[in-house]
Structures are given as structure tokens and as C-alpha cells.
Structure 1
């Protein structure tokens, strides 16, 4: 059912009428009154509202009358009053109106056996936002106590959603594991959450890590004075015991890497949680984030898995999910180039890396360049693949900008749908020479990796990238690879990147693909030359 009015209580209070944002009263108290009435969904005595939002010796009743009149202008339609008030009480009547928190609460209270994954993902994203953000001090202590209690109830709703996602039969093992990690992070001493994570790990073939988590949880619970009812690991989750008489299938290198990968988390300066991963042994190689990443789903990829396996073969390969996608926080205020650079700084600092080679792909090249310019003492060398110095809004032709704007429109309206046509636009420009099954995988991977809103915000941020002034400041030895017929970033842009960096080596690859694929000769050449370059310069 469509609604003519939508009220968002999660995050900053907002009202949208027939698709258009409504200007709310400047008064924080008036907005808080609307939030309270919309959340409670019942008539409230005027005396109670006055006590919650105004202190004596002000004129509380007069202030309330003024606030209600302003709110009527914002949420009432002709013939559809929604602010209902008499001499004793006031209420918000949700006629033809959707209130986000109430919709989520009612859906979960009905306790359906199975909610579609797309709907649950949307709930999880919404419930990460604080209720009535920015209005905490808009009322008296009574309002603040009510808001704190409502936020506690929101946390319970969030745990409900995370549980449903972790145990959902329609999700892949990798995505279930992602939600299991978020569930245990929100409630680290809850036995059911720990059981969900342990069994998700085991079902993903990471039995050793599952047993480690189980032992840690038992120890932590005991230290906290809690009792655990029994083993967390379900025998059904353990990989079946093989018959020694039957030859065991050879484990693929990517699968072996995933099993050995270690994931950690750190916080950026603005509080955003970032996920990073290390795998392999030997000297470090740090990869800057690019469009789009997921520390676990990547290893199932026919696109990324061969490349990552090659780089982790002789080194400790370090990468991370940038803000807004993958296992890192999705609901973030800042998605910008400056934030991307800070995130790289945060991850390498959290890992205690003093000096390391840095690898960038696509927009990760610009992030790598900026980091190397700011921290020349920490970067031993740079490997840049399919990169550029300026985004599509800077210097691109009118025709190219129009194409990008059209893609933004398609993203806004179709990214989260089950129809891959919208995302297929990206896949074809990234890999025009790929197999149909590889394109299909990438289509679905993109949908699982970020939200429609963030997909748009990423594209906007990439358009404004400009590191031209930083190129000359790079002191590290640099090699730049670029496909001759790259359909997404032109060869000229790759050359400009190499020309701007002092003494950079430029290698042209015989390919049409922006993302090199493991079956093409250009990929073999890039991997081999990268290893030779690292052997010479990564000290």
C-alpha cells in the first residue's frame, strides 16, 4: 500500500508528503512534540505534553497551542487532518501515513515466520539510526527519560532483525556470517548471538575459528558471572567427516585463503566502524578500498578471488571495507574522498604498520596517491591499477557527464531491486570481456554490498576526486598499470596519473576490462610485474 505521508523518526526527524520533503518548524520543541506524538500513537493529555517540553514560568499551554498549529501546517492535508486536539488531549492520527519506527515495530510484533531478506536489510539499516537524532535536549527530563527508554526498545528491535538475518534460510553463508558478526557486536554476552556466530562460521567452513570463538565466549561469560547452557557449536554445522578411503577434493586457493583470513574492526575519528582483514604470511601489502568491497563475499568471486590469492601467496595481504559498504558501517554521515583517505589512515594505524607498499585500484589509486603524499615516510612503493587523478565531474565531456547522471538516476530507483538490469550497467563497463556468469555474480554482489542510497553517494564522491596537486608530492617508487581499451577509465587518464608522479613507470595492458580477470593474459602480466616491482622496492 502506498502512503501520501511518510514520517521518519529514525535519524533526524523528517516528513515527506507525496514525494516532496516538507519544511518542519524551526523550533526543536515543536519537532520533538511531533516525534513524540507520532511514536506513541495515542492521545496524550495536554498537561503531560506541557510537562515534557516546557518549564515554568513559561506559558506551556500557549507554547503547546503554537506548536500544534505549526505541526498542522506540516502534516495535515486538505480533508485529512492528522493533528487531532481538543481542550484535554492531542494526538497524531496516521491516516494515509507511514511512520517508520511504528511500521517496523508492527511488522516484528506480528512475528511472521519469514520476512524477505530485502525488507530485513532495510530494517537493519534504519534501526542503526538514533531515534529523533539531535532532539535529545528539546524537552525536559521527562522527555529525555522517555526517549532513552524508546531507544532501548529500538535496540531490542535491532537484535530481533539481526537474529532473523543471521538465521534466514535464503541468505548465503557469507551474508549470514556478516549479520552474525553484527549481532554479537550489539550484544556480546548473549548466548543465542554467540551461537549464531559460531555456527555461521562453521557452516562457512571455518571450523577452527568457530571453536576459537566458542572458547572465548565461554571464558568471557564465566568471567561476567553468567552460565552457558551447553555447547554453542551445533554438530550439524560441522563439515562432515570424510571417509579416508574416499579421495578428498582439492581445496581451492581462494577457499583456503578465506578459511585463514582474520577479520578485525577499528573506529575512524568520526566513530564509523571499519572492518579490515589480513591473510597470508610475509611482508605486508596494503590494498586501498575501491568500488565495492566485502571482506568475505570477495573470496567467492570469480573476479577478485584469483587476484587476492596471488597477492597473498607470499605476503600478508591487508585490505578493508571502506565506510558505507561490506562489513563496515553503512549508515554514515560522511561519504567523501577525504573520509576515504582518513579510513586508510585509521586501518594502517590500527594495525601498527610503520612502512609498507600500497596498492590501489580504480578510485583506490587516488586514495593511495593522497596517502603517499601526506605520509611519504610510511609508503615504500605504490602499485596503481586502472586509476585516475580527477573524477568524472572534473574535466569530463558534457556527453560523459550526462551518461553518469543517467546512471545515478537508475541507481536511485532500481539498485535494491531483484532486477539486475540497473546494476548490470556497472558490470558491463567494468568487464566488457567477462563471461555471462561472471557478470551475473558481480550484479548480485553489488546489491549485497551496499545500499541504494550509498551507491549514489559513492558515485557522487568519486566524481569530485582531484589529486592532481598531490601527484608531484609522491616520493615512493611507483608503477602504473592501465588497460589499453578500458571502457570505464580511459588510457589517457592512466597516463596522466603516471606522468604526474615523479619517475613513475607506466605499463599498458592488452585488455578492455577495468577489472582484470584471472583468465586473461593481461592479468598474468600485471600480477607478475607487480611481484617483481615489490621484490625490488617494498623495503
Structure 2
């Protein structure tokens, strides 16, 4: 267990909790759309152990713990109920928050997510974990390859590509090993049918880390869920922030 999760609280209005991805953080994953979200809502996020200012965990992470800490941050911020926006691993955190705290969660937005990893994703996570103790540039090249959409990759000059790799190599949160290990263990499949709140699933059609088929499975498993597809890779916030923000805002405004 980690005693303190660092928090981000922005804006005012109806509550929106932010659940980030493995090896990421609130600012890293939601930064490009955070100002937009905060214009009409109180956006509250927590950094998982080993991300942001949250101390690294001393043992394996628990999906229950991440979901409970996120909900606690919302309540501590004065929110009685809230929608939850999950990205990647954060989609599983959002689903778990909805099933553990149904009296507080009013809607879900699940982006580039999964109920459980498929074999492609398991291989990617195993490679990611194996590269963490080695050459960080090699790790960044691998993550760029699997997390960046082909359209975005094709648009980069060789110089821009190297700059992107260097920036990613410099950003590896200390808690990445535990977070990636949790990604490999996630399975919320049995919980999907019990979700009774409006849900939007956002699939990234060029995502090879969490393939769009996994998002479609989420949408199929949650009663009444809507599905929106965006042409980009796993890094939705970096590649398609305007489309992502528009999809979120239109759904939550209903």
C-alpha cells in the first residue's frame, strides 16, 4: 500500500475523475486536454505509485487500491458523484471504480482500453518490462513503435522522430515496473455486464499496443455502451487531442 497519492484538481463544475495509463501520469496522459476539461468540470486525478509525486510502491499494485484512491480524491475534493475518464490501464481502474462505488460513479469514458490484455499486448508488456533495466533509448524506440499510430509516424521527419524518442527516454516513471505488471494481470471481463451507467468507449484505430479490437470488446460487454473511433495510435492525447476532447465533451453533455 502507498500512503499518499499525489493529486491534480482543476476547474469547477460537475466532477470528472481522471485515471491514467501504466507508465504514465495525470499530466503526461491528460495534459493536452486538461484545460479543456477544466473549463466546464472539476477534473480530479491521482498519480499511481511511482508516477508524479506519489512514492513508489513496495509491493505489487492492486486495481482495487487505485480505484479506491481515485474515488477518495474526488470525495476529498468536495464531489459527491462524478464521471470517470480512464485511459489505457485507467479504463480498468474506471470500471473497478464503477463496480466498487456505484453510488458515486455517474458515467464512464474508456479510451484506448481493455478488459484484459490479449497476447499481442502481453508480449508488448513483457518486452517493455524487460527493457526497463537496460538502454532507455532502446526502450523508447520500442514504445514509440508500438504506441505511435502509423499516420503520426509517417508525418515525422527523421529529426523529429529522434527528438520524440529522446523525450520518451527521459520520461520513465520509477513505478513503471509495478504499473506494467498490473497491466498484465488486469481482467475486468466479469464486471462489464454489471455496469449500469452511461458509457462511452473511445477506440484508437491505429493502436498496436492496446489494439482497437480490445476497445470494441469493452463496448460489446457493457450494456448500452457507445463506441467512437479516432484515427490515431495509443498516444491519443498527443496525436488527436481535439478529437478526443470533443468526443468526451459531447458525450458528457448529453
Q: TM-score, normalised by structure 1?
A: 0.42
Q: Once the 2 structures are TM-superposed, how far is the Cα of residue 321 of structure 1 from its aligned partner?
A: 0.6
SS in 2 for 1:348: helix
Cα distance in 2, alignment partners of residues 333 and 502 from structure 1: 35
Cα distance in 2, alignment partners of residues 385 and 277 from structure 1: 20
Which residue does the alignment assign to 1:311?
Answer: 37
**1:403 to 1:293, Cα distance in 2 relative to 1, 3 A:** closer
Aligned partners of 1:373 and 1:475 also within 8 Å: no
Indicate which of 452, 468, 473 corresponds to 2:189: 468
Cα distance in 2, alignment partners of residues 294 and 455 from structure 1: 10
Q: Deviations over 1:128-186 (max 9, x none)?
A: xxxxxxxxxxxxxxxxxxxxxxxxxxxxxxxxxxxxxxxxxxxxxxxxxxxxxxxxxxx
Q: Deviations over 1:190-234 (max 9, x none)?
A: xxxxxxxxxxxxxxxxxxxxxxxxxxxxxxxxxxxxxxxxxxxxx
Which residue does the alignment assign to 2:50?
Answer: 324
Aligned partners of 2:2 and 2:49 also within 8 Å: no
Which residue does the alignment assign to 1:280?
Answer: 11
Which residue does the alignment assign to 1:456?
Answer: 177
Aligned partners of 1:385 and 1:481 also within 8 Å: yes
SS in 1 for 2:171: helix
Which residue does the alignment assign to 1:515?
Answer: 235
Q: Once the 2 structures are TM-superposed, how far is the Cα of residue 310 of structure 1 from its aligned partner?
A: 1.8
Q: Once the 2 structures are TM-superposed, how far is the Cα of residue 423 of structure 1 from its aligned partner?
A: 3.0
Q: Once the 2 structures are TM-superposed, how far is the Cα of residue 456 of structure 1 from its aligned partner?
A: 2.2
SS in 2 for 1:528: helix
Q: Deviations over 1:318-368 (max 9, x none)?
A: 111112221011143342323322322332333342111110000100110
Cα distance in 2, alignment partners of residues 319 and 486 from structure 1: 24
Indicate which of 148, 151, 155 corresponds to 1:431: 148
**1:367 to 1:444, Cα distance in 2 relative to 1, 3 A:** same
Aligned partners of 1:411 and 1:423 also within 8 Å: no
SS in 1 for 2:234: coil
Cα distance in 2, alignment partners of residues 431 and 359 from structure 1: 21
Q: Once the 2 structures are TM-superposed, how far is the Cα of residue 289 of structure 1 from its aligned partner?
A: 2.7
Q: TM-score, normalised by structure 2?
A: 0.86
What stretches of structure 2 of length at least 5 have no aligned partner? none
Q: How many residues align?
A: 245
> Which structure would you say has the larger Rg?
1
Which residue does the alignment assign to 2:80?
Answer: 354
Indicate which of 3, 17, 21 corresponds to 1:290: 21
Q: Once the 2 structures are TM-superposed, how far is the Cα of residue 402 of structure 1 from its aligned partner?
A: 4.5
Q: Once the 2 structures are TM-superposed, how far is the Cα of residue 373 of structure 1 from its aligned partner?
A: 1.6
What stretches of structure 1 of length at least 5 have no aligned partner? 1-269
**1:294 to 1:492, Cα distance in 2 relative to 1, 3 A:** closer
Q: Once the 2 structures are TM-superposed, how far is the Cα of residue 403 of structure 1 from its aligned partner?
A: 4.8
Cα distance in 1, alignment partners of residues 125 and 87 from structure 2: 20
Cα distance in 1, alignment partners of residues 57 and 124 from structure 2: 28
Cα distance in 2, alignment partners of residues 529 and 407 from structure 1: 30
Aligned partners of 2:201 and 2:227 also within 8 Å: yes
SS in 2 for 1:274: coil
